[in-house]
Amino acid sequence: MDAALYPILVVEDNVETLFTYEKYFQGSCYQMIIAGSLCQAREALQVFRPVAILLDILLDKQSTWTLIAEMKGNEATQNIPLIVITVIDNERKARALGADAFFIKPAERLPLLHKINALVKGDLPQKVLIIDNDQVARYLLKEYLADPNFTIIEAESGQEGLALAQTETIDAIFLDLEMPGMNGFEVLKQLKSNPDTKNISVIVNSSKLLDPQESMYIAQNAIAILSKESQHHEVASGKLREALIKAGLIPIARD
């Protein structure tokens, strides 16, 4: 398991559904622990401490209603957020047994990730760091990020950004790549090599055209890549919201 990612226990035996979830969590701050039976789920809960549980009601010749009751009746597991995702429209029973959320299959990616974020981090403050030497770019990004859920702090250089990342409790970093002195690639390298900052979700926000090697490096070390190039406001807002949700943050819904 990757220590930088939050574990989620997925109680599901359908291969196609598991493949879908794998795609959903790819590039996010979460990783799956798969349990294909009640026995495997119970064993996993003895070994791991997942931040949330996704659970189908119908496994092969098994019903997981009893497992829900067990988990919510056990002090060791009762506070783990439990999300039921199934083809059976029986939300009332799931809620009565203690489920924290309910989706009818197929659950869509962003609503599911947003719900997980809300259940896992809903009561925690969310602090976002913008590292960019361009004052106008920082202002525009702050306008996009205007959200009562977020506290935004700024750094005008890579060195200042690294210092803030180590002294503040940061949930996500927006990082420009083209800065004088220490560029964004070096900042990202130092963030990911430092045990105190390696788990912070990084969203690259830059106008730089990346070569294949640079693209691969960013893809391996950042949650998302956004372009500074001007585009329709709704498109930019949609991409930003998706990046925030992948980073584990909880942006408010926009009208």
Residue keyed to tokens 């045990």: 195
Residue 200 CB neighbour total at 10 angstroms: 20
- Name the nearest CA neighbour of 81 among 105, 112, 39, 125: 112
Are 109 and 166 in a shared domain?
no
Domain boundary among 105, 121, 137: 121
Predicted pLDDT at 255: 44
Are 130 and 238 in a shared domain?
yes
Domain boundary among 121, 142, 175: 121
Residues 6+ apart with CB under 8 A from 98: 68, 69, 71, 72, 78, 82
Check residue 56 and report its DSSP letter: -
Domain count, the chain: 2
Boundaries of domain holding 113: 6-121
| The two structure tokens encoding residue 47 | 């070994």
Are 36 and 115 in a shared domain?
yes
The pTM for the full model equals: 0.72
Beginning with the edge strand found earlier in the chain, give each strand of the sheet holding 6-11 in spatial order. 30-35, 6-11, 52-55, 82-86, 101-104
Question: In whole angstroms, what is the distance from residue 66 CA to residue 85 CA?
Answer: 16
The SS3 assignment for 148 reads coil
Residues 6+ apart with CB under 8 A from 199: 3, 4
Are 43 and 64 in a shared domain?
yes
CATH code of residue 222: 3.40.50.2300
Q: Tens-digit pLDDT profile for the chain (255 aa)? A: 776 678 999 999 999 999 999 999 987 888 999 999 999 999 999 999 999 999 998 887 778 898 999 999 899 999 999 999 999 888 999 999 999 999 999 999 989 998 998 898 776 778 999 999 999 999 988 888 877 778 899 999 999 999 999 999 898 999 999 999 999 999 999 999 998 898 888 999 998 888 899 989 998 889 888 888 755 566 677 888 888 888 888 775 544
